[in-house]
Amino acid sequence: MRNLFRATILACLVSPMCLGVFVSRAQEKASQAMPTGIEVEMVQSDEIKLPTEFQVALYENLIRQLQKKGGFKNVYRDGDRNATEHPGTIVLHSTVKGFKQGSERARQVTTVAGATSITVHCRFTDANGHTLLERDIKGKVRFFGGNLKATYDFAKKAAGIAREVSVEQSPRVARS
Amino acid sequence: MKPSNHTAPLRPRMTQDASGIGIPAMTRNSVLLTITFALVALSPLCRAQSPGVQTTREPTKTTLVTGLPGFKDDSNGSLAAEKGHLQFVHSKNAIEIPVPSITDVVTGSDNQRVIRGKVGTVSMFGPYGSGRFLSLFRSKLDTLTIQYRDGDGGLHGVIFTMAVGQAELLKQQLIAQGAHTTIATESSSSHETSKLNETTEQKP
């Protein structure tokens, strides 16, 4: 009886330690498998006339969302010298394809009118410039919030797609 | 004790010259003329000392919309451009951006609900469309968008909002201290247009 009690206590002490080691190894493996980083280029709007505050808000929200849930170890800004030091860095090019500036006042007064929407063409490329994924992503604000909230909506969707890219790229990185 | 001579004739206060003008009046006129001439003569010097941009101003009350590392969005603070740095202060935290690293400064305009914050959110659900009615009352504001590069060369973008008329002043201050812009200020653009007019006038 006493032996059984001792064995139970020992098992209770040892098992969390083993679990901790297992979890930390799994995390290490996952971090090794992650692509090293992503460089976010400034959002371009050559064809569409986009106000500068929207351009900047798109860029900043994109970086913030990628840091939160992009699935990359590092998120580099446009022109960051550290990005070139890591060969596995993915580059995100974004170009504005459509923009409709709504009105916050119209949204608040009518509910149905005054929506703001932005369509951005996102292209993920590897360090050699080969395209990994291309997609049009739309950000919009329909009911509550200022016009710049459309950029937040876009950034969230873009981070989700970036996660897909990071998952696709992770086995290759692990193999290499 | 010497008795005062009350009966002594009083000296006339106003003497007149040949033209009949009182002497004190002449003195007053000459003083006024001297002051006027002095002001006219010194006015170019005053203009030379105060260039189009004031170098020292009180910090502008602003709201950070997004972009500054270490600060939450929509945090209120003060913004000042002094000694080659753009400084944003919010409670005890402060950040300084070197003005030469600023690659673009652009101003814009926006508007916001007069009744905002928590009260504003609650008022949105007011009965009989009162929330919608209150949304019609809006105040104008200026936006100041800045792009700058950090020590590693990474591009940052920051958006501030402030009272009407403040953004253009800050922009002029930043440009005077070495910041770059893709959209020229009103004063510089008017200067350029006047230059253009001069060149077109010179052409036969």
Q: Is A103 on the interface with B (CB under 8 A)?
A: no
Strand bridging mode B60-66 / B155-162: antiparallel
CA distance B111 to B113: 7
What is the distance in angstroms between the Cα of A106 and the nearest Cα belonging to chain B?
Answer: 9
Give the three-class secondary structure for A109: helix
Look up the CATH superfamily of A36-175: ABC-type transport auxiliary lipoprotein component (3.40.50.10610)
Record: contact A80-B159, CB cut-off 8 A = no
Please write the tens of the pLDDT for every residue from B94-110. Answer: 999 999 999 999 999 88
Do residues A20 and A117 touch, judged by C-beta distance below 8 A?
no
| Closest Cβ opposite residue A105 in set B104, B135, B143 | B135
Record: contact A56-B113, CB cut-off 8 A = no
Residues 122..141 of A with a Cβ closer than 8 Å to B: which?
none
Domain ranges of chain A: 1-33, 36-175
Confidence of residue B47 (pLDDT cuts 50, 70, 90): very low
CATH class of B60-192: mainly beta
Please write the tens of the pLDDT for every residue from B14-42. Answer: 555 555 555 667 677 777 777 776 666 65
Record: contact A148-B147, CB cut-off 8 A = no
Record: contact B155-A53, CB cut-off 8 A = no
Site of tokens 């000459």: B30
CA distance B7 to B114: 78
| Closest Cβ opposite residue B145 in set A56, A76, A77 | A56
Alpha helix stretches (DSSP H) within A73-141? 82-85, 104-110
Q: How many residues does chain A have?
A: 176
Evaluate if residue B171 carries a pLDDT over 80: yes
Confidence of residue A26 (pLDDT cuts 50, 70, 90): low
| Closest Cβ opposite residue B155 in set A42, A108, A146 | A42
Domain ranges of chain B: 60-192
| Closest Cβ opposite residue B153 in set A57, A61, A79 | A79
- The DSSP annotation for B22-63 comes to BHHHHHHHHHHHHHHHHHHHHHHHHHHHS-SS-SS-PPEEEE
Q: What are phi and psi of B90, to 5 degrees?
A: -130, 115
Q: How many residues does chain B have?
A: 204
Share of chain B above pLDDT 70, in %: 67
Record: contact A78-B154, CB cut-off 8 A = yes
Q: Which two tokens stand for residue B162?
A: 């402030």
Q: Chain B interface, mutation test: which of A56, A109, A110, A154, most B Cβ atoms within 10 Å?
A: A56
Give just the sign of the alpha carbon dihedral A28, A33, A34, A37.
Answer: positive
Q: Which two tokens stand for residue B98?
A: 């070197």
Give the three-class secondary structure for A21: helix
Alpha helix stretches (DSSP H) within chain A? 2-33, 52-69, 82-85, 104-110, 149-175
This model of the complex carries an ipTM of 0.78
**Partners of residue B153 in chain A, C-beta under 8 Å:** 79-81
pLDDT at B33: 73
Cα separations in angstroms, A176 against A62, A71, A88, B127: 28, 19, 10, 63
DSSP A94: E
Strand bridging mode A74-76 / B75-82: unpaired
Please write the tens of the pLDDT for every residue from A64-116. Answer: 999 998 889 899 999 999 998 888 899 999 999 999 999 988 888 888 899 99
